[in-house]
Amino acid sequence: MLKRNTTYITALLGVILGVLLTLLVVKVVSSERKFDGDYNRWRKLNLILQEVQANYVDTIDMAAMTDAAVAAALAKLDPHSVYLPPVELTESESELSGNFEGIGITFNVPNDTAIVLNPVPGGPSEKAGLRQGDRIVKVNERSVAGVKMPQDSMVRLMKGPKGTKVKITVSRDGVLIPFDITRDKIPVNSIDAAFMIDETTGYVKLSKFTRTTYKEFKEATQKLLDAGMQHLLFDLRNNSGGYFDQSLLLANEFLENGDQIVYMEGLHRPRQEYDADGRGSLKDVRLSVLIDEGSASSSEIFSGAVQDNDRGVIYGRRSFGKGLVQEPINFTDGSGLRLTVARFHTPSGRCIQKPYDKDYAYDIYERYVHGEMTSADSMKIDTTSVYYTVKGRRVYGGGGIVPDVFVPMDTTKATSFYIKCNKKATTVRFASAMFDKYRSSLSQISDFRSLCTYLGSLDLERQFLEYAEKTDGIKPGPGEWEKSKEYMMPQILGLTGRYSKLEEEAFHRFYLPIDDVIQAVLADKKSSSTVL
């Protein structure tokens, strides 16, 4: 009995001792993990990461976990404050720098194989012997043809630091040819096209605001002025922005001394205004600015300045609505932040940034669904947020730049035949096939009149219909080609014309007659009407 009781007492003492030890450990650990509730010092995040590192069941990639934690934290801010790991930061900066380091080619991927459109003149690829029309089969020893490799992955393989080498194997007339190419700095143009539409009307298409945009713009517009330009169509459609200072310099070309271009303001950034100095060379040129839902950031700063100063007419559809000031903060490991520190406001006081609510990521899609692309009455305008231009015209806030002249998207030409061709990129692939067929002549043409004459002699309409049926099994139904022809043939001519020395300019020249926004500008010019 005593033995049993002794055993019982021993067990009981063991339990009590265990509980005491547990409480002691919990107390010690709790003391070490204590969080004082002060979120302003980020202590809770540090404590959690430390505990994971000390106790997690498997080995942890601390770099990846830290990057993920930072990205998740920034996601609670606005949609444009982002963390960029070293590789992404380098790519982001090189895209806007006006040059990058690589092999110097432009290429297209119409059929799961990259086709060289043009080697950059004087660049590494041209010097090595790559030609227009070469099919890129391998990069070093990795196959890139017929493997459904994303285009950006191909770019990463070919790009690299200046002075490094890469082997590019191409197929030329069915023969595989390897080229050892030494990478170098490659200039990147931000102006896609600049030409005279008629004797007094010039056209400039700007794709983005890079470090070299102002220099390119000055050179392009000077040539147009020399050719007699009195009216400029400045196309900022699908221009997602870029360097802020470049938009200031471009706006300064058109405005008078003292005209405000934009101002920025934030909680930790006092209001800062930017005004024109009156030294611009285009102050006497009539200005029409083309925008759409893809025009953002620096494009909107320029458009807002023109509109609020009553300096020109804005045509198209409501712009994207991205008016946040991103400040770069770079770290010694090559990573960095793009942190929102202020908001951009047009001279009248409108905030360019649209609300970033739960539907922010789907805003453009919502515009399609609600009919904004085809009807001005469906445009979301905050009529309670009224501002006034220099001449007293009403303009509205709510995000983005609302055009002075709304031009709807034309969906009437989208026949079943057109949609099927679009899904299979039939027009793009046909243009590539035409280049293969007529390469020797097409690649030598350097002026638009000669290009029109040459393409007109090829009966491309018949060849395209035969190609669509034979290659993709697509044949227009009764009346479909007659309805789509007017819209599709200029695209076919433009895509084929890109293989000439005119490159992108050829496409924009051919597309001009079916470009509803440009035609709206020209119609206003012809009737001498104005909304100002």
Q: Is residue 317 scored above 50 in pLDDT?
A: yes
> Are 132 and 232 contained in the same domain?
no
pLDDT at 356: 82
> Are 423 and 395 contained in the same domain?
no
CA distance 319 to 401: 5
- More confidently predicted of 478 and 46: 478
> Are 336 and 446 contained in the same domain?
no
* Element at 287 (helix H, strand E): strand 286-291
Beta bridge partners of 107: 116
Q: Do the domain assignments include residue 153?
A: yes
Q: Do the domain assignments include residue 171?
A: yes
> Are 234 and 365 contained in the same domain?
yes
**To the nearest whole number, what is the mean pLDDT of the chain?**
86
**Where do we find the tokens 């490159």?**
503
**CATH number, position 168:** 2.30.42.10
Q: Which two tokens stand for residue 399?
A: 């995000």
User: Is residue 244 a contact partner of residue 233, using CB atoms and an 8 Å limit?
Assistant: no
Q: Is residue 151 scored above 90 in pLDDT?
A: no
pLDDT at 287: 98
- 363-399 burial, b at 16+ Cβ within 10 Å, e below that, comes to beeebeeeebbeebeebbeeeeeebebeeeeebbbbb
**What are the pLDDT digits (tens) for 125-139?**
877 888 888 899 999
pLDDT at 6: 47
> Are 453 and 505 contained in the same domain?
yes
Q: Is residue 511 scored above 60 in pLDDT?
A: yes
Residue from 349, 293, 348 nearest 322 by CA: 293
> Are 401 and 281 contained in the same domain?
yes
pLDDT at 381: 80
> Are 289 and 384 contained in the same domain?
yes
> Are 291 and 352 contained in the same domain?
yes
pLDDT at 33: 59
Which segment, 66-75, 80-89, 480-489, is predicted with the most confidence on average?
480-489
User: Is residue 515 a contact partner of residue 290, using CB atoms and an 8 Å limit?
Assistant: no
**What are the pLDDT digits (tens) for 273-289?**
999 999 999 999 999 99
Distance set, CA 518 to CA 237, 395, 414 (Å): 11, 23, 20
Q: Do the domain assignments include residue 92?
A: no
- More confidently predicted of 319 and 112: 319
pLDDT at 512: 95
pLDDT at 5: 46
**What are the pLDDT digits (tens) for 224-272?**
999 999 999 999 999 989 899 999 999 999 999 999 999 999 999 999 9
**Where do we find the tokens 């469906």?**
378
Q: Do the domain assignments include residue 2?
A: no
DSSP string, 452-484: HHHHHTTTHHHHHHHHHHHHH-----TTHHHHH
Q: At which of 130, 163, 187 does a domain end?
A: 187
Q: Which two tokens stand for residue 74?
A: 């920034």
- More confidently predicted of 70 and 20: 70
Q: Do the domain assignments include residue 259?
A: yes
Q: Do the domain assignments include residue 13?
A: no
Q: How many domains does the chain contain in total?
A: 4
- When pLDDT is cut at 50, 70 and 90, the band that residue 87 belongs to is low
- What is the mean pLDDT of the segment spanning 72-93? 79
For β-strands 382-388 and 394-397, DSSP reports them as: antiparallel
Least confident range of 58-67, 118-127, 161-170, 445-454? 118-127
User: Is residue 405 a contact partner of residue 399, using CB atoms and an 8 Å limit?
Assistant: no
- When pLDDT is cut at 50, 70 and 90, the band that residue 453 belongs to is very high
> Are 239 and 384 contained in the same domain?
yes
**What are the pLDDT digits (tens) for 412-452?**
778 999 999 988 889 988 998 998 899 899 989 999 999 99
> Are 199 and 169 contained in the same domain?
no
Q: Is residue 509 scored above 80 in pLDDT?
A: yes
Residue from 260, 528, 239 nearest 390 by CA: 260
Q: At which of 406, 439, 468 does a domain end?
A: 406
SS3 369: helix
Counting Cα atoms < 13 Å in the Cβ hemisphere of 21 gives 6
- More confidently predicted of 404 and 41: 404
The domain containing residue 247 runs over which residues?
191-406
If DSSP states are collapsed to H, E and C, what string results for 478-528?
Answer: CCHHHHHHHHHHHHHHHHHHCCCCCCHHHHHHHHHHHCHHHHHHHHHHHHC
**Where do we find the tokens 């993920």?**
68
CA distance 218 to 204: 11
- More confidently predicted of 508 and 30: 508
Q: Do the domain assignments include residue 430?
A: yes
Beta bridge partners of 100: 186
> Are 368 and 342 contained in the same domain?
yes
Q: At which of 187, 202, 231 does a domain end?
A: 187
> Are 196 and 327 contained in the same domain?
yes
Q: Do the domain assignments include residue 337?
A: yes
pLDDT at 201: 97
Phi first, then psi: give them for residue 149, nearest 5 degrees: -75, 130
CA distance 70 to 78: 14
